[in-house]
Structure 1
Amino acid sequence: MSGGKCLRIWSGDWDLPSVDYNCLAAMAYCKFTETPVTFQGTNNPFWSKTGGLPVLKHEGGSEYNLTDIINFLRKQGRNAEFGLSKKQNADILAYTSLIEEKLLPALLYCQWVDTKNLDDFTRPWYFKAMPFPFRYYLPASLEKSMDDKVRSMCGCGTLTNADIEKKVYREARECLNQLSNKLGTFDFFYGKNPTYLDAVIFGYLAVLYKTPLPNNPLKHHIQSCDNLVRFINRILHRFFQLTPEETTEQERKESERQQEKQDISDFPHKKRNMIISALVALSAMVGYALLSGLVQIEITETNGEGINNDYEDDFEPDEDED
C-alpha cells in the first residue's frame, strides 16, 4: 500500500454510506477526525481474521475491529476526544457499554432473528451483495453467529423467540429514551463537536432508522424522538454528502427494488395471464391441425352386432341397392 489508508466496509444502501453499524461508526470517526482514508465497499469479510468488517489497511498492517481502528487513529494523532475531561471520557465508555448491552441485541434481533425480516430482507440483501461464491455460504454463517450472539447477550438460552423479542425491544426503547434525554437540544452528545460516542450512536441509529425492514418497531420509536432523527440526518448531511456517481448508484438500486416489488405484486395476474395465453395458443394449434387435416378424428359406433362404422373410409353403396 503506497502510504494511504483503506477502510474495507460493507457497501452502502438506503442513503447510507454503509449498511453495517460498525462500518458506519468507523467511517464517521474518520470523517470527524479528517483522517485521509479511502472507503472500499468489498462486501466480503472472508479474508478478515475476525470474519467481519470493517478492516483498516495501512502501511504497518491491518486493524480488524472498531476498537483497534479507533485506537490506531488516536495514536496517529486523529483524536476526536481531544479536550474532553476525564469524567466526559468515562461517560463515553459508560454510554458505549450501555448501547452494546441494550441496543445491540435489538438491532441484531431485528435483522437476523426476526423470521420475516430475515426471509424477506436480510438474507436476500446479503446474498445479492456478496461476491461469488461466498454468497452461497457466508450469509448462513452470519445468520448462525448473529442468532447465537443475541441469545448469549440476553441470557436467553431457554426463552422462545417471542420472549426474546419482548425483552430486547423493551430494553432498546429504554436505551433510546436515555440517549434522547442525553442529547437534548445539542447538535452532538458533547456539544458542537462530534466524538467517538457520536460515531457509535450514529452507526446504531442510522441502521435502525434507515434499513427498510418489514418489521421494525424501533424505527417508529426513533421517529418519536425528534432530536435523534435530526442527529442522524445532521451527520449524514455534514459528513457524508453523496457524490454524483453514488447518487446514481443509489437511484439504480432503488429502481431495482421498486421493480422487484412490482413483479411480486403482479405475479398472480401474470400467472393467470400466462395460463390463459397458453390455453388460447393450444386451442389455436388444435383448431388449425383439425382444419388442415393434420389430425383426423375417428368416430366409432358400436351396435348390438359388434359392427364398426368407420366414417374416415369412403362410403361404398351396396351393389344390389336400387
Structure 2
Amino acid sequence: MSVYNLWDKDAKEPVLKTSLSSEWNFKSPVATPRSSSPPSRGGESIFNKYLDLVSSKSNISTEAKQTEPMDRPFDFFDDEEFAFGINLLNNNVACVGHNITKLIQMAQEPWPDNVKLYQPYEVEQILLPDNASCLAVQAFLKMCNLPFEVEMRWNAEFMSPSGRVPFIKCGAFVVSELEPIVQFAANKGVTLCSRLSTEEKAEMRAYMSLITNVLVNAELYISWLDNDTFNAVTKVRNSSVYPWPLGWLQTRSKRNNVAKRLKALHWHDKTLEQVLADVEQCCNSLSQRLGDKDYFFSSSPTELDALVFGHVFTIITTRLPCRKLAETVRRHETLVSLAKRIDERYFKRP
C-alpha cells in the first residue's frame, strides 16, 4: 500500500491516489531549443572568411601565385571547387538562420491542445520533493487554463532535459521545471502576473526563492538523510521500478548526489530541529505575506500561489515516518487553507 495519499474533504484521513500509465515508448526526448545557442554567428564568421578570400584572390597576379602560395584558411583544388564551397556555406548559413527564425515563430504560437506533462508514477515511485514540484506545475497550468495531459513514466527524470521533473512536451519544445515553464508560457502570451507592478514581481520572485531554498531542501533532507524515512519510504519507492541490483545502485548514487547538494548549501550537517526551525521561519514569512487574503497578490493566483500549493499540499497529505515536517506546516492555518482552496477550485477532486 502506498504511503503517498491525497487530501479528502469528507474525511480526516487522506485517500489514496490510484492513477497509473503505460510504459514509455518515446525513446529520446526532444532537446529543448532554449538550451542550444544559435550557430549562425559562427557560420557567418566562416562565410566572411570566404568573401575575404574571394576578394584577395582577384587582386593577386598569376606570377605571385606561382612564386608564393596564397595563405588562405581553406584550400581548394581549383576555382570551380572553391565556388562550390562558397555556395554550399552560403546555403548552410541561410538554412540555420531559417531554422532559428522558425523556432522563434513556433515558440510564439498559441498553446496547442496536445501538450503532455511527464512525471514519475504517483502510486509506487514518486518522492516527496518531486511530487511537490509536479503539483506546482500542474496547478500553474490549470490556473492559466492551459490544456495538458499527465503522462507517468518510470524514467521521467532521465527523459527531462534538466534531469528534474516534471517536464512538458509542447510541439517541438521540451521544457522542465516551474520557472522555465512559466517563461515558456509567457512567450506565448500567457501569464499570471501581468497586473503586478515591478516591485510586486520582485517580491514574488523573492518568496519563490525562499521556498526553493528552504522547503525544497527540507523535503530533500527528510526524504534522503532522515534514516527512518529513507529506509521505510525513499529506498523502497525509488528502487521499485528497477531490477535488483540496479535499484540498489541507483538509489545509492542518488542519495550521494543529494548529500553533495545539501553539503554545498550547508544543509547536510544540520540537525532535524534546525531544519524544522528553518521551515517554521519560512512558513511564518509566507503566512504574514498572505494574511487573510485568498491569494498572495490580490484576488487572483500567481505562480507563487501555485508553488506554495504544490509544497504545502504535498507535505500535509503525505504519510511519512517522520511527521514533524507536516506538523510544522499544519500549524500555519492560512497556508493550509490556501492549499485546500486551490485544490478544490482547480483540481476538483471527488
TM-score by length of 2: 0.61
SS at structure 2 position matched to 1:109: helix
Corresponding residue number in structure 1 for 2:185: 73
Matched, 1:6 2:83: no
Aligned counterparts, 1:41-190, within 5 A: 41-44=152-155, 45-128=157-240, 130=241, 135=247, 137-154=249-266, 156=268, 159=269, 163-190=270-297
Give me the whole-angstrom Cα distance separating, in 2, the residues matched to 1:66 and 1:98: 15
What residue identity is the alignment partner of 2:147? P
CA shift, 1:185, in A, is 1.2
Quick one: structure 1 residues 137 and 192, their matched pair in 2 at CA, closer, same or farther if it must change by over 3 Å?
Answer: farther
Corresponding residue number in structure 1 for 2:326: 219
What residue identity is the alignment partner of 1:204? H
Judge conservation of contact 2:117–2:166 (CA < 8 Å) in 1: yes
CA shift, 1:127, in A, is 2.7
What residue identity is the alignment partner of 2:226? D
SS at structure 2 position matched to 1:8: strand
SS at structure 1 position matched to 2:341: helix
What residue identity is the alignment partner of 2:310? G
Matched, 1:24 2:135: yes
> What percentage of aligned pairs have identical amino acids?
25
Aligned counterparts, 1:199-210, within 5 A: 199-210=306-317
Post-superposition, which runs of at least 4 consecutive aligned residues in structure 1 deviate over 6 A?
Answer: none
Corresponding residue number in structure 1 for 2:146: 35
Corresponding residue number in structure 1 for 2:65: none
What residue identity is the alignment partner of 1:223? R
Write out per-residue CA displacement over residues 245-265 of structure 1, whole angstroms, 9 at most, x where no aligned residue.
xxxxxxxxxxxxxxxxxxxxx
Corresponding residue number in structure 2 for 1:192: 299
Report the RMSD for the aligned CA atoms in angstroms.
2.5
- Could you tell me which runs of 5 or more consecutive residues in structure 1 were left unpaired when the two chains were aligned: 244-322
Write out per-residue CA displacement over residues 204-246 of structure 1, whole angstroms, 9 at most, x where no aligned residue.
2122211111113121122221111111111111111247xxx
TM-score by length of 1: 0.66
Write out per-residue CA displacement over residues 68-96 of structure 1, whole angstroms, 9 at most, x where no aligned residue.
11111111122111211111111111111
Quick one: structure 1 residues 222 and 39, their matched pair in 2 at CA, closer, same or farther if it must change by over 3 Å?
Answer: same
Quick one: structure 1 residues 173 and 13, their matched pair in 2 at CA, closer, same or farther if it must change by over 3 Å?
Answer: farther
- Could you tell me which runs of 5 or more consecutive residues in structure 2 were left unpaired when the two chains were aligned: 1-29, 31-111
SS at structure 1 position matched to 2:159: coil
Judge conservation of contact 2:276–2:328 (CA < 8 Å) in 1: no
Per chain length, whose mean CA-contact separation is higher, i.e. which structure has more relative contact order (CA < 8 Å, sep 6+)?
A: 2
Quick one: structure 1 residues 235 and 11, their matched pair in 2 at CA, closer, same or farther if it must change by over 3 Å?
Answer: farther
SS at structure 1 position matched to 2:117: strand
Aligned residues: 235
SS at structure 1 position matched to 2:296: coil
Structure with larger Rg: 1
Give me the whole-angstrom Cα distance separating, in 1, the residues matched to 2:221 and 2:168: 27
